[in-house]
Amino acid sequence: MKKSSLSFAAMMLVQNTWACVSCNTKLQEAIYDDSFLPNLVTMLSAFIVLGVIVFVFSYLSTKSYKLLTKKNGVLVPDPVPLSTASIVTGIGLGGFVDGIVLHQMLQWHEMISYRLPPATLLNKSVNMFWDGIFHLFCFIVVLIGIILLWKLQFRNHINKSGKLLIGGILSGWALFNLVEGIIDHQLLKLHNVREISPNPELWNISFLVAFIVMLLIGIFLIRRSSHTL
């Protein structure tokens, strides 16, 4: 058994078919081909837009809010710092859920599975590389969100409601999927929500509708928390 395993490993090395970016020349060529750089901005368009959104909300969260907001004659803490920090966190968490559930567990689609169907080991590996870039972005955003939330515990005159936290996370989660869905599914056609389907566009539209509903729920919780404290 051990001998046959070693023989199989040697054969795979000789044929150079290992799905390893750092050791497989064919895979490197497939990822970094002549069209790689011109298409790089296209491939990362959704992440660039989301990165700008994260930057704006992070800036709003770290601004100083010394004055209390006056509502109906009652002074209430400002909801902006926590809502924006939780939106940033929600953007990262929403991306992770999408990547873990739809990309990895259900395998409905991968990052460029419409442009490059993962029907071979090579194509599957190229898609896996871009899924890794996808998850790296999500990790960085979640890390930023955690830092923003951690800093809020030392600040006064801000709304620290749990409803505001949940509403912000839901809003961020929805924002991630709406931006990614509109750009990657509708405009660039990098992938569909469910590739193997008689009607992929129905899945794409249903996906957007579901997250529009989630965004409205998140906004409702944020507004409710802002008015009740």
Distances (CA, A) of 181 to 67, 95, 133, 156: 38, 11, 17, 37
- Residue 35: per-residue pLDDT: 66
Q: Would you kindly state where each structural domain of the chain is located, as residue ranges?
A: 45-59+74-228
- Residue 10: per-residue pLDDT: 45
- Residue 15: per-residue pLDDT: 46
Write the DSSP symbol of residue 68: P
pTM summary value: 0.85
Q: Identity (one letter) of the amino acid at 136?
A: L
- Residue 64: per-residue pLDDT: 80
Report, as ranges of residue numbers, the positions in the chain whose pLDDT lies below 70. 1-19, 22, 34-38, 66-73, 227-229
Inter-residue contact 93 to 120 (CB < 8 Å): no
Both tokens assigned to 30: 């497939």
Burial class (CB in 10 A: 0-12, 13-18, 19+), 44: middle
